[in-house]
Amino acid sequence: EFDAVFSRAPYVKSKNRKRLREFDTWFELAAKDAKDAGEPPLDPNDDERFFRVYERMIERCDENSKSAIWHWHVFENNLMEEDPKKLLDPNKIVDAVLPKATSVAFFESRLFLHGTFEDPVDLLDRVDRLKRTPTWVCQGHRDEVCPEEYAHKLVDALQAADVPTKPYFIDSGHEATDPVMAKCLKNALDDFATTIQ
């Protein structure tokens, strides 16, 4: 799943020029940092090294950290945001949003590196632990952060392990604030509440 969002190849393959431009803008900052450090050129499809360079830039707390933090946050924000008026510009730091951007960048760079490369967890190999736990999946068709194909893999694994599963593939994006997603999540919680009574 990680490669589907955090490397260049899927954006080239899908011919999504907007996302490709956004990825390239995000990537270029890390590529420059690697070059300035005298390192070999950064490969836009080597997501682990890409993230390690970003983590280094973010944690350095120097004049370039603010830009790295902002670029990270803008890429993440724009993947989730469906309202064009709320898209952020990677070249214009919004001081009011910077504290949130800093938190997201510090937390996610470490979380993603740890959970994907340093101590990876394969959730699909663990779904059998949920045999007695009813499980709901609410997945938006327009979710670019967690692409739908991976939710289908999760549902298939849950069902193969005989986990009671209720999948809902809905017309929404990633964010829980999307009205369609919010309704799906509320319905799942209401259904869960009746299940445990």
Task: Compute the radius of gyration of the chain from its Cα atoms.
Answer: 19
- pLDDT of the residue at 60: 92
pLDDT of residue 53: 96
102: Cβ contacts below 8 Å, ≥ 6 apart: 69
- What H or E segment, with its residue span, contains residue 30? helix 17-36
Q: What is the pLDDT of residue 97?
A: 95
Beta bridge partners of 165: 135
d(CA 30, CA 94): 21
pLDDT digits (tens, 9 = 90+) for 91-137: 999 999 999 999 999 999 999 899 888 988 888 899 999 998 899 99
**CA-to-CA dists, residue 169 to 7, 139, 142, 193, angstroms:** 25, 5, 10, 21
Show pLDDT as tens, one digit a residue, over the chain (197 residues). 788 889 999 999 989 898 899 999 999 999 999 999 999 999 999 999 999 999 999 999 887 899 999 999 999 999 999 899 999 999 999 999 999 999 999 999 999 899 888 988 888 899 999 998 899 999 999 998 888 999 999 999 999 999 999 999 999 999 999 999 999 999 999 998 998 76
